[in-house]
Amino acid sequence: MPNQTIKTPCVGLCSTVYGDLVCRGCKRYHHEVIQWNGYNAQEKQAVWMRLEQLLVQVMASKLQVLDPQRLRQQLEDRKIRFMPHQSPYCWAYQLIARGARVISRLDAYGLALLPEFRERDLIELRDAIDREFFLLSEAHYERYIAPGFLKDAFGPALIATF
């Protein structure tokens, strides 16, 4: 399946339609979800890169990728979609997101949990990873994106009062 191009980060769980500024499914910002089809290749790549960087940060704090080739082969064998050019930590996320209920040994996939996470149930860990990825995306939005929207909407004089 890696030869099938993944055209959008969307995972079909959009929460921006309910007013979230950051989608709980794909972690894109509301304006990125709305404008995605109008983005050029560079704009889309910038979104993909930000999502990858944030996800790698979360995943590397929970596990190690010991054998990227084994992980890749397992994903291909199980027909789990992933983006080959992304970090193996993103591949690990796809594996855990899709297989947390059936995976019993991560070492069979070339992965090892860090010691502080070895006793956690994989489903619980998957949910914690997703929550942390969302919170990190939300914090990034509030720090770097929201101030620009406020400035555009209200002007620099009002922003100075915040």
For residue range 101-125, list pLDDT tens digits in order. Answer: 999 999 999 999 999 999 999 999 9
Classify residue 126: in a domain, yes or no.
yes
Please compute the mean of the pLDDT values over residues 72-93 and round it to a whole number: 96
Q: Is the pLDDT of residue 95 over 50?
A: yes
Compute the Cα dihedral for 87, 90, 92, 98 and give only its sign: negative
Both structure tokens of 28: 């894109």
**Full domain range(s) for residue 35:** 16-153
Classify residue 23: in a domain, yes or no.
yes
Q: Is the pLDDT of residue 161 over 70?
A: no
Q: Is the pLDDT of residue 77 over 50?
A: yes
Greater confidence, 17 or 14? 14
Greater confidence, 95 or 149? 95
pLDDT at 46: 96
Classify residue 91: in a domain, yes or no.
yes
pLDDT at 4: 58
What is the DSSP track for 62-100? TEEES-HHHHHHHHHHTT----TTS-HHHHHHHHHHHHT
pLDDT at 159: 44
Classify residue 1: in a domain, yes or no.
no
Mean pLDDT estimate for the chain: 90
Classify residue 4: in a domain, yes or no.
no
Whole-structure pTM value: 0.87
Which phi and psi (to 5°) does residue 138 adopt? -65, -45
Classify residue 137: in a domain, yes or no.
yes
For residue range 25-44, list pLDDT tens digits in order. Answer: 999 999 999 999 999 999 99
pLDDT at 156: 55
pLDDT at 152: 60
Both structure tokens of 80: 């789990």
Number of domains composing the chain: 1
